[in-house]
Structure 1
Amino acid sequence: MSGRQKAKGKMEEATGKTKEAVGRTVGNERMMVEGQAKKSKGAARQAKEKTKDVFKH
């Protein structure tokens, strides 16, 4: 299950980076901020899963 959550985190992070870049390109600040938030959420999810893995071993 943690592998699925890690993948979900990576996907959120990648989607966030893309959305942030598109927002910056077209000058849409809201899209840029939403992308940054999604990127942060994905990074947090990955960190949480990595922490769980450390305590499992």
Structure 2
Amino acid sequence: MGIEDKLSAAKDKIAGKAEELIGKATDDDEKVAEGKAKQVKGDVTQAAEKVKDAAKDLRD
């Protein structure tokens, strides 16, 4: 997993959590949903990179 990809996934997860918390604090269900979606995007990016790393390890 490249450092840029790791940072991007972490950024999405952190930004998503912050957005979710803001949505909960302001009772904004749409903001909560958007935050959760960003967290999922970060999780998916992280999982995809782990699969790429595993595939690379198998080739080596």
TM (normalized to structure 1)? Answer: 0.92
1:31 partnered with 2:42: no
5+ long unaligned stretches in structure 1: none
User: How many residues end up aligned between the 2 structures?
Assistant: 57
Give the CA RMSD over aligned residues. Answer: 1.2
The structure with the largest alpha-carbon Rg is 2
Identity %: 33
Deviation per residue, 1:4-48 (Å, 9 max, x gap): 112101110110001001100110111000000000001100010
5+ long unaligned stretches in structure 2: none
Partner of 2:43: 43
Partner of 2:9: 9
Q: Name the CA distance, whole Å, in 2 between partners of 1:7 and 1:54.
A: 19
TM (normalized to structure 2)? Answer: 0.88
